[in-house]
Structure 1
Amino acid sequence: MRLCLALLFWVGEVLADPTLVERYRQGQEHWPAATLDAGIQAEPLAALPTEPPCPASNPCTQASRVLGKQLFFERRLSGSGQLACASCHDPDLGWADGRRQAIGHNRQVGTMNSPTVVNSGYLQRLFWDGRANSLEQQAMASWLNPVEMAGDPDVAIATLQRLPGYAELFTNTYGDATISRERIVNAIASFSRSLTLTNTPFDQFMRGNTDALDEQEIRGLHLFRTKARCINCHNGPLLSDESFHHLGTSFHTVGNFKGRYSVTGDATDVGAFRTPPLRGVGKTAPYVHTGMAIDLDMLLSLYNMGWWQNAEIIGTGDETPQAQLSPLIKPLGLSTGELADLKAFLLSLTGDMPYMAPTAELP
């Protein structure tokens, strides 16, 4: 009975505005106003530019991308000689790893879910806590992290210098065969910027192909902008405000619970993690920084219920302030049909993930 009533309510809402889908097909100037909380300055939704910007200090060239790809799959950069960037960012798994938490050096289990590197070149802040401001910083940090690749740059450079194939690759990229830690991370960052997903059905729709989204997906887009409240955080061309919010996903003293607070020391940032962009979301489960949402249905259910405010744990000996649920998180009251529509829209953001076979290891 409850399911029938929910479906009837959902159908009634759709019939209340029979022109809704057509209004969305006519362009943004005809769309209903977005539902935004007070003080939220949301950027308009838009298609993503086909190429991310490249810093002047690390120009994107075909040669740097070829070298970067080789290094992205190069296990000998790691302390064990068994891990590469691709170990946690696998092209077969949406350039993530499909795990709740990453597994790194000596089978250490990390505290965070590995996000996809697809479209990472558009981001201003990297890592879940935003501690890196560029892909170059991110690549260096992951390479040196003792729980991730545990790399020793001097040892890795000496290893690459013994492999004749790298001399040609570095010469083609930088004009000479010198191998340095800066050149290594610059090439990896250049390759990462080439991994883009910019022609999803949603992007096509935003560029004027009004048939790129079907009616259910358009209803989902409408919910995304209104009743589902997603637009408060997932806006602009990136579908991310690139800010940090606490959802209830971190628990005091458990794992990496501090989030952005570790960077800023601001009590309002405890448990706050970066708003992820959403393109490719259908192929990058599990979700949130802990990987606790195993699929989209579970993720949407958690948002629909409004997450939760974690209770303070007394006597832990940890003086970190208690994380506070973001005021942007509220129970949504979405019906079964509305959840299906919203999921359909999110899947329209997936498109064809970039794929390439791993490079052959240089002898």
Structure 2
Amino acid sequence: MLATLLGAALLGGSRAASIALPAVDPDCRRQLATAGTLPAPACLRQAYAQPSTRWPAPQVDAGVAWQELGPLPGLVAPPDNPTTPAKVALGQRLFNDPQLSRSGQIACASCHERDLAFADGRRVSFGHDRQAGRRNAPSVAMSGHLQRLFWDGRAATLEDQALLPIADPKEMAFSADAAAARLRGDATYRRAFAAVFGNDRIETRQLAQAIAAFERSLAPPPSRLDRFISGRHDQLDDQQLQGLHLFRTRARCMNCHSGPALTDHGFHNLGLHFHGGRRQDLGRYEVTGDPAASGRFRTPSLRGVARSAPYMHNGAIARLDAVLLFYNVGGGKPRPRTGSGAHGPFPAPDPQLQPLQLTRDELQAIQAFLQTL
């Protein structure tokens, strides 16, 4: 019992053990406490056989409000938009219907394909008249678990988010009112809206609520990591377990990607804003006007990350291994341009981006772990 309590204390547990747990032997405790080294897989098996509340403490910066990894909680719909199977089915039909666009050729699903983890696999999406956008289409599979939507966080709820692409001149180039009016001419839609909402008026608010209900239904099933946390320790092989440990420690990933949703729901500057250039995008600043937000973009969830390439707000990095190399060198380090006529404040470097000096094998282990999410 003494060994168990010592192991729990070393691993960051906040409560004394109330049941017998696998002990972490002295050699493993030494390995876990040795900075800059990766403990042997057998040692990691001992450490991560503990409940997740007693796992090795993550390496995060002072003041970071991190959460332990864990399974996704059940979604609670807002009181004014309760989820029902019929509403989800209606939302799915709307999500896949190009009638919501001016041309009648572009649906929500055009940029969020089920077979591509509800992203589209492109660096940036194209929309009305084949116009290219300037941002990557993120997966919407986790949208119900996010606190703000879009890369710049301009929508606070899924209901707010649902109608904005319809009106965007580079996306669907229509209006929510015009889309609703078009649907009113379809008797099958009138019957479906009447069955869900009690009337067949097909209002824009109902349109948003149905699409939002469908998007909330897209939360991914339990991952291999979830099953590992629940006690099925055969779900991660040795390399993936090493990746989990590195993710939590020397790779510093838990600074921004923690909790069940694997995001801090915050906004960060990775140095990919191209300030002063043709591709300048200042992200959150364009919504808030706050100079401190310049160049910051929403932290995406990492659930399903291996299936949602390319990466970053502008799709600039095509492969997951390249993303890890980018972080390993400390992210982008642009310098202010002089005389460029740039508008908006130059984004301050994000202090959480630091060179990691991880080896190739360690980066491969992290990638193997990310593929379990």
On whether the aligned pair clears a TM of 0.5, the verdict is yes
Point out the more displaced range, 309-318 or 72-81: 309-318
Find 1:255's aligned residue among 279, 282, 302. Answer: 279
Point out the more displaced range, 251-260 or 279-288: 251-260
Name the residue aligned to 2:175: 152
Find 1:86's aligned residue among 106, 109, 115. Answer: 109
Name the residue aligned to 1:294: 318
RMSD: 1.5
Find 1:55's aligned residue among 78, 97, 111. Answer: 78
Contact residue 126 and residue 171 of structure 2 kept, 8 A:
yes
Identity level (%): 46
Find 1:199's aligned residue among 208, 222, 242. Answer: 222
Name the residue aligned to 1:143: 166
Q: CA deviation at 1:30?
A: 3.5
Name the residue aligned to 2:238: 215
Correspondence list, 1:1-363, <5 A: 13-14=37-38, 18-49=42-73, 51-253=74-276, 254-255=278-279, 257-349=281-373
CA distance in 2, matches of 1:157, 1:232: 43
Contact residue 53 and residue 122 of structure 1 kept, 8 A:
no
Taking structure 1 as the reference length, the TM-score comes to: 0.89
**Secondary structure class of the residue paired with 2:37:** helix
Point out the more displaced range, 26-35 or 222-231: 26-35
CA distance in 2, matches of 1:97, 1:235: 25
**Secondary structure class of the residue paired with 2:110:** helix
How many residues matched? 337
Unmatched 5+ residue regions in structure 1? 1-11, 350-363
Structure (1 or 2) with the larger CA radius of gyration: 2
Contact residue 100 and residue 179 of structure 2 kept, 8 A:
yes
Point out the more displaced range, 314-323 or 218-227: 314-323
Unmatched 5+ residue regions in structure 2? 1-35
Name the residue aligned to 2:20: none
Encode CA deviations 1:29-59: one digit per residue, 9 max, x unaligned: 442221111111211111112x322111111
Encode CA deviations 1:7-27: one digit per residue, 9 max, x unaligned: xxxxx9345685122211222
Contact residue 163 and residue 176 of structure 2 kept, 8 A:
no
Contact residue 53 and residue 121 of structure 1 kept, 8 A:
no
Contact residue 219 and residue 342 of structure 1 kept, 8 A:
yes
Q: CA deviation at 1:178?
A: 1.4
Aligned residue identity for 2:119: A
Q: CA deviation at 1:344?
A: 0.7
Q: CA deviation at 1:321?
A: 0.9
Aligned residue identity for 1:282: A
Encode CA deviations 1:118-172: one digit per residue, 9 max, x unaligned: 0210111000011100011111111111111112333322321221211221111
Aligned residue identity for 1:257: D
Point out the more displaced range, 13-22 or 243-252: 13-22
Aligned residue identity for 1:13: T
Aligned residue identity for 1:346: L
CA distance in 2, matches of 1:15, 1:180: 59
Name the residue aligned to 2:21: none
CA distance in 2, matches of 1:136, 1:15: 46
CA distance in 1, matches of 2:38, 2:265: 32
Label 1:17 to 1:96 Cα distance change in 2 as closer, same or farther (>3 A).
closer
Label 1:156 to 1:29 Cα distance change in 2 as closer, same or farther (>3 A).
closer
Taking structure 2 as the reference length, the TM-score comes to: 0.87
Contact residue 52 and residue 121 of structure 1 kept, 8 A:
yes
Label 1:305 to 1:179 Cα distance change in 2 as closer, same or farther (>3 A).
same
Aligned residue identity for 1:267: P
**Secondary structure class of the residue paired with 2:172:** coil
Encode CA deviations 1:204-259: one digit per residue, 9 max, x unaligned: 12222222222211110100010001000001111100000001111114435111
Contact residue 309 and residue 324 of structure 1 kept, 8 A:
no
CA distance in 1, matches of 2:91, 2:165: 15
CA distance in 2, matches of 1:191, 1:29: 33
Aligned residue identity for 1:344: A
**Secondary structure class of the residue paired with 2:279:** coil
CA distance in 1, matches of 2:315, 2:343: 26
Point out the more displaced range, 161-170 or 328-337: 161-170
**Secondary structure class of the residue paired with 2:338:** coil
Q: CA deviation at 1:324?
A: 1.9
